């Protein structure tokens, strides 16, 4: 069986000069080289078994590709052969010597048949002393594992050196080439794992315009790797396992202006080179989460990065550039590089990706009032709900259904307080440089946990509020039907359902339906896919539904208690007032958020995320702050429990005594006179916690 094409070797004396040091990136350079040369080459192709004698001496290019030539016999290129003892196995040395006269040879050694020599090795002096050689391409040679350190030696006119798709294990030795200007392209060699010290030292006597080390298996760049190397552009793109560039790797190197570390696993950049860098390409480099200190980038013009938040860092960078007197010269404007470096007063850095709508260039809480407010609100929610929980749980009286529900309400509002404190704390810690922490925060565990807390809290809170209202409505409308009385058992079932629902709703974004990482405040604002959209919209609709349910219940309660003629009129208005407040706070909390959130979820955003944060800080937690007051502190039962509890710790003893005597005097069973409308009022008062004056 014929093995096809182990290797293409391009050796040529191209008239084309090596491209200058301009910044442009030429991603297609490795393929274009081959294409460019093929057009004027004498080609030996598949099926050819020996070098024909008809090649004229004025041929400047010879391509030997996918042939079955086993050996290139001496004399095949008769007029050109200079005898010389070959040292290498796979390549016939004399063949390369012909290149001196042929000016340009593209040679494929050789599809070896029947177990002759497969190309495993390029021996010493294979490319030595070929002063006319300008281009060497060694590709597609999976079995080539070793290149002798002396293989490349004194090839002073070498302009292109390409080594690709080989099985090389060690970084080839380029230190004896001593070229005068070279493009080095070493790509797709998946076994090269390390760039050693002084790897490019003798490669070139001048500045190397470009070193491409793309898509290899490089894992590490050693200390002093670029010692003694002057280079303009360095591409490390596509070395997916590259995690570490030694901080001293670039010591002794100079003139680097373009660095490409896209698609690598690097997490930091060596500070040494940043000062001269004009262009930094780090796309799809997800591990580069933190940028080096910005003041190190003194010359940067363009940055193509992975994360938009990093571009925010360059937003407000100010540089002192000195106006060069030459700038007024008409020619200066023609010379773009000079003009850009010395004359342009614009200090802006072109940076991609630009920030998206969800991640504006700002801290989590951009405005100072917001920052203060979130602390006040979060502490209020934490304190209020903690007190409520303590009093409810510490009280010795029997656990009733309303109290049971109140516990859940306080707990969910406490969770909201925790969320707010977390956000406020992260904001404080990252103040002024959120761009460098955005990725860690938004993609990290912290944001998911905070997001879980807030969705869980708000859903459980809405659910419990609805349950409390329904319970009141039920108690009042069925006040006279003891058989329909709600028991703790029922409440337990309802609240278990509530917990499960809230937990599921809060967990969904952590498993890919929407996501908490989209915005800095960790709310599920990701509506990119239909599933996420459905999730967000249905959450909001459920909340709106709950709101209408609450409204309906209060309306029904109001109509029920308005009827009894014996009910005093002022009690009536008080009930109405109280309900109005409850509904109003609920509405204020719900309406703006729901309105804007639904419009955003339907991808018709009416306000920016920055404005939405204001809404979210001011309105979203309103319920969590006000619930302790509306449902606990302002009610007489709660105050009684509070003072009784405090009395156990030796506080407010006299107040507690008053409550104790009062409560014993009105301990009349509700069923003593079932016909009386007072019973109705009593249960209403209980249900609405209306005993005593509301204090608002």
Q: Kindly list the residues in this chain that would bind ligand NAG in the complex (CB under 6 A).
A: 25, 53, 56, 58, 75, 78, 197-198, 224, 227-228, 252, 281, 283, 304, 323, 345, 350, 352
Contact between residue 177 and residue 152 where contact means Cβ atoms under 8 Å apart? yes
What tokens does 146 get? Answer: 């070793």
The full length of the chain comes to 696
What tokens does 37 get? Answer: 């040369």
CB-nearer residue toward ligand NAG: 198 or 443 = 198
CB-nearer residue toward ligand NAG: 159 or 237 = 237
- 566 vs 681: CA distance, rounded Å: 10
What tokens does 290 get? Answer: 């933190």
CB-nearer residue toward ligand NAG: 50 or 440 = 50
Minimum gap (Å) between residue 39 Cβ and ligand NAG: 12
CB-nearer residue toward ligand NAG: 283 or 362 = 283
Minimum gap (Å) between residue 378 Cβ and ligand NAG: 40
Minimum gap (Å) between residue 199 Cβ and ligand NAG: 11
Q: How far is CA 620 from the centre of its chain?
A: 26
* 3-class state of residue 44 by DSSP: strand
What tokens does 337 get? Answer: 């590089």
Minimum gap (Å) between residue 61 Cβ and ligand NAG: 9
Burial of 675 (0-12, 13-18, 19+ CB in 10 A): exposed
Minimum gap (Å) between residue 202 Cβ and ligand NAG: 10
- 438 vs 520: CA distance, rounded Å: 7
CB-nearer residue toward ligand NAG: 58 or 665 = 58
CB-nearer residue toward ligand NAG: 227 or 355 = 227
- 550 vs 611: CA distance, rounded Å: 28
What tokens does 340 get? Answer: 């850009």
Minimum gap (Å) between residue 304 Cβ and ligand NAG: 4
Minimum gap (Å) between residue 609 Cβ and ligand NAG: 23
CB-nearer residue toward ligand NAG: 78 or 180 = 78
What tokens does 359 get? Answer: 């991640």
Q: How far is CA 38 from the centre of its chain?
A: 44
CB-nearer residue toward ligand NAG: 239 or 430 = 239
CB-nearer residue toward ligand NAG: 30 or 586 = 30
CB-nearer residue toward ligand NAG: 323 or 696 = 323
Backbone angles phi, psi at 13, to 5 degrees: -110, 85
- 224 vs 195: CA distance, rounded Å: 10
β-partners of residue 12 are 135
CB-nearer residue toward ligand NAG: 193 or 283 = 283
- 688 vs 472: CA distance, rounded Å: 7
Minimum gap (Å) between residue 207 Cβ and ligand NAG: 15
Minimum gap (Å) between residue 343 Cβ and ligand NAG: 7
Minimum gap (Å) between residue 79 Cβ and ligand NAG: 7
Contact between residue 217 and residue 171 where contact means Cβ atoms under 8 Å apart? no
Minimum gap (Å) between residue 333 Cβ and ligand NAG: 9
Note the helical H segments in 61-220.
Answer: 93-102
β-partners of residue 136 are 11, 161
The three-state DSSP-derived secondary structure of 301-348 is: CEEECCCHHHHHHHHCCCCCCCCCHHHHCHHHHHCHHHHHHHHCCCCC
Note the helical H segments in 563-652.
Answer: 569-601, 609-618, 622-628, 636-648
Which sign, positive or negative, has the C-alpha torsion 411, 417, 419, 422?
negative
CB-nearer residue toward ligand NAG: 281 or 380 = 281
- 348 vs 683: CA distance, rounded Å: 70
Minimum gap (Å) between residue 350 Cβ and ligand NAG: 5
CB-nearer residue toward ligand NAG: 123 or 196 = 196
* Residue 563 neighbours by CB under 8 Å, 6+ apart: none
Minimum gap (Å) between residue 352 Cβ and ligand NAG: 4
* Residue whose pair of structure tokens reads 């700002």 in the numeric block: 362
- 533 vs 619: CA distance, rounded Å: 22
């Amino acid at each position: 069986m014929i093995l096809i094409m182990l290797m293409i070797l391009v050796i040529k004396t191209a008239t084309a000069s090596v491209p200058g040091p301009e910044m442009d990136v030429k991603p297609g350079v490795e393929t274009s080289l081959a294409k460019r040369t093929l057009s004027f080459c004498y080609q030996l192709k598949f099926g050819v078994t020996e070098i024909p004698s008809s090649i004229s001496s004025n041929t400047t290019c010879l391509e030997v590709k996918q042939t079955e030539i086993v050996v290139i016999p001496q004399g095949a290129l008769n007029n050109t052969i200079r005898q010389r003892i070959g040292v290498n196995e796979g390549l016939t040395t004399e063949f390369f010597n012909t290149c001196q006269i042929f000016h340009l040879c593209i040679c494929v050694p050789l599809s070896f048949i029947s177990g002759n020599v497969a190309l495993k090795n390029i021996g010493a002096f294979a490319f030595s002393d070929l002063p006319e050689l300008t281009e060497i391409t060694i590709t597609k040679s999976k079995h080539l594992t070793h290149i002798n350190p002396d293989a490349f030696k004194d090839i002073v006119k070498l302009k292109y050196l390409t080594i690709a798709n080989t099985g090389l294990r060690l970084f080839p030795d380029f230190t004896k080439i001593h070229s005068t200007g070279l493009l080095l392209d070493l790509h797709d060699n998946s076994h090269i794992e390390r760039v050693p010290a002084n790897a490019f030292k003798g490669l070139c006597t001048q500045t190397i315009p470009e070193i491409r080390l793309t898509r290899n298996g490089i894992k590490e760049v050693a200390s002093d790797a670029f010692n003694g190397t002057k280079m303009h552009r360095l591409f490390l793109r596509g070395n997916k396992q590259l995690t570490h560039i030694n901080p001293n790797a670039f010591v002794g190197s100079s003139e680097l202006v373009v660095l490409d570390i896209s698609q690598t696993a690097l997490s930091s950049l060596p500070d040494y080179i940043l000062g001269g860098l004009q262009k930094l390409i780090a796309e799809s480099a997800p591990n580069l989460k933190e940028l080096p200190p910005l003041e190190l980038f003194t010359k940067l013009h363009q940055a193509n990065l992975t994360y938009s938040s990093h571009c925010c860092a360059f937003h407000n960078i100010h540089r002192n550039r000195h106006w060069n007197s030459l700038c007024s010269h008409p020619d200066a404007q023609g010379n773009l590089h000079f003009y850009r470096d010395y004359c342009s007063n614009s200090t802006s850095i072109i940076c991609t990706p630009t920030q998206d709508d969800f991640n504006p260039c700002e801290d989590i809480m951009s405005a100072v009032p917001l920052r203060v407010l979130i602390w006040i609100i979060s502490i209020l929610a934490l304190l209020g709900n903690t007190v409520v929980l303590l009093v409810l749980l510490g009280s010795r009286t029997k656990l009733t259904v309303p109290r049971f529900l109140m516990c859940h309400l306080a707990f969910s509002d406490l969770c909201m307080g925790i969320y707010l404190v977390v956000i406020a704390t992260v904001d404080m810690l990252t103040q002024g440089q959120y761009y460098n922490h955005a990725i860690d925060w938004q993609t990290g565990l912290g944001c998911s946990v905070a997001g879980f807390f807030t969705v869980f809290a708000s859903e459980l809170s809405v659910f419990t509020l609805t349950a409390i209202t329904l319970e009141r409505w039920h108690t009042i409308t069925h006040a006279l039907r003891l058989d329909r009385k709600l028991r703790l058992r029922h409440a337990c079932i309802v609240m278990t359902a509530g917990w499960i629902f809230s937990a599921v709703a809060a967990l969904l974004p952590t498993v890919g339906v929407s996501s908490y990482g989209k915005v800095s405040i960790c709310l599920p604002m990701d509506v990119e896919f239909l599933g996420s959209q459905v999730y967000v919209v249905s959450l909001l609709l459920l909340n709106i539904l709950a709101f209408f349910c609450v409204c309906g219940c209060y309306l029904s309660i109001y109509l029920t208690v308005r009827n009894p003629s014996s009910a005093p009129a002022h009690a009536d208005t008080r009930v109405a007032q109280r309900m109005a407040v409850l509904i109003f706070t609920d509405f204020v909390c719900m309406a703006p958020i729901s309105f804007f959130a639904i419009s955003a979820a339907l991808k018709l955003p009416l306000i920016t995320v920055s404005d939405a944060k204001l809404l979210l800080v001011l309105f979203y937690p309103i319920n969590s702050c006000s619930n302790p007051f509306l449902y606990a502190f302002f009610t007489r039962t709660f105050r009684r429990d509070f003072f009784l509890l405090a009395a156990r710790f030796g506080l407010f003893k006299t107040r507690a005594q008053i409550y104790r005597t009062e409560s014993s005097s009105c301990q009349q069973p509700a069923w003593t006179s079932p016909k009386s409308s007072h019973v109705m009022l009593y249960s209403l008062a209980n249900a609405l916690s209306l005993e005593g004056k509301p204090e608002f």
